[in-house]
Amino acid sequence: NLPEAKRVEVLAALTRTAQALATMLEGLLDLSRLDAGVTSNVQHAVALRPLLYDTAAALIDEAEALGVELRVASVDREVLADPALLTRVIQNLASNAVRHGGRGGAVLLSARRRGREHCLLQVWDQGHGIDASDRARVFEEFVQLKNPERAQRKGLGLGLSMVERICKLRQWPLILDSRPGRGTVFSVCLPLAPAQPLDAQDDQLRDGAGLQVMLVEDDAVVRDALAGWLTERGCHVHALEDARAALERFEQTRRMGRAIDVLVSDHSLPGPMLGAELVHALRARQHGLPTVVLTGAVQDPLGERPPPRTTVLHKPVSGRVLWAAIQHVVQAPDA
């Protein structure tokens, strides 16, 4: 029998190992999705400034622990991009900069116009820099410069590989510039979104206009977070944990003379019915029901040719990405 202090130490070590393995698995799944072409293809106007500030806020604790100052400087412009993939690019570049930015240094997340049609997204750090001979290697899987001990706090060596693949997939020019001993900057050139009237932007970004959303997710933390985000947008959310509860709620709302405007369902639901089966069951009752399916798997649960007004998002999914997908399926024509 181990002493109490030793048991706590062993349990903490096992927890860290499990978390590291989960992070590695998620990273490998993301790379597999990119290699297989299984990615979302939802192009929307994405506001860069709030996305950069959200990224910085998520990293502030880690940055403070490492003695790194985080700064954001961004124009108030929108780019045309898949929000899920753009978010992943920014998060990976920013977390890489924080971890390798050097104690006492600063990391800057910036965005500025480049000509009339593009915006330049840049992530600057004041770390050790990257030698010219190593600049191609940093985009290889599991390559970590300046980390011979493979310390987990410095990541797993998958983030930059994912950034490069996403940029190639979306044809976003990616440039690495570094000065050994002074720091590094990664630059991504993004197309600007067409200008829209302010009232149209308000409708897209904030106003759910009483949209009836059925959210089916068995993870209570994820369900509450997404439900809260959608409620803030003005949606009326029916948050449920499995397909059986979803079918019962659907019939209840229909008897009350109300219709569900959009279904958001995780694919891996508890019980005998998966998310894709729930989609088919509800669309048989309400033709053309707009649907967003969430999945952590590599393969698309709706197949290569999903029904009209449906889309698949690969986890993890932020509120902004989900809202963009909901707008896409609600506004799409029903074939």
Distance of CA 77 to the CA centre of its chain: 20
- Do the beta carbons of residue 239 and residue 224 sit within 8 Å? yes
- Do the beta carbons of residue 213 and residue 160 sit within 8 Å? no
pLDDT of residue 159: 78
Name the pTM for this structure: 0.54
Residue for token digits 């806020």? Answer: 57
pLDDT of residue 323: 85
Measured N-to-C along each axis, helices 83-100 and 48-65 cross at an angle, to the nearest 10 degrees, of 30
116: tokens are 């009339």
Closest listed residue to residue 152, CA positions, set 54, 91, 62: 62
Alpha-carbon separation of residue 138 from 40, 110, 135 (angstroms) = 26, 22, 6
Amino acid making up residue 310: T
How far is residue 104's CA from residue 127's CA, in Å, rounded to a whole number? 10
How far is residue 188's CA from residue 161's CA, in Å, rounded to a whole number? 14
Alpha-carbon Rg for the chain, nearest whole angstrom, is 22
b (16+ CB within 10 A) / e for 6-44 = eeeeeeeeeeeeeeeeeeeeebebbbebbeeebbbebeb
How far is residue 315's CA from residue 217's CA, in Å, rounded to a whole number? 12
How far is residue 19's CA from residue 2's CA, in Å, rounded to a whole number? 23
Q: For 255-304, where are the E strands, in sequence order?
A: 262-266, 291-295
How far is residue 214's CA from residue 236's CA, in Å, rounded to a whole number? 9
How far is residue 234's CA from residue 236's CA, in Å, rounded to a whole number? 7
Burial class (CB in 10 A: 0-12, 13-18, 19+), 200: exposed
78: tokens are 């929108």
Per-residue pLDDT of the chain (335 residues; tens, 9 = 90+): 667 777 777 676 666 555 545 545 555 565 566 666 555 556 778 888 888 888 888 888 888 889 999 899 988 888 998 877 888 889 889 998 998 877 778 999 999 999 889 999 999 998 888 888 776 778 786 555 554 444 444 545 577 888 898 888 888 999 999 988 889 999 999 999 886 544 444 444 455 667 899 999 998 888 888 888 888 888 899 999 999 999 999 999 888 888 899 999 999 999 899 999 999 999 999 999 999 999 877 667 877 677 889 988 877 777 777 888 888 888 888 76
How far is residue 236's CA from residue 207's CA, in Å, rounded to a whole number? 12
Is the alpha carbon torsion for 191, 290, 305, 38 positive or negative?
Answer: positive
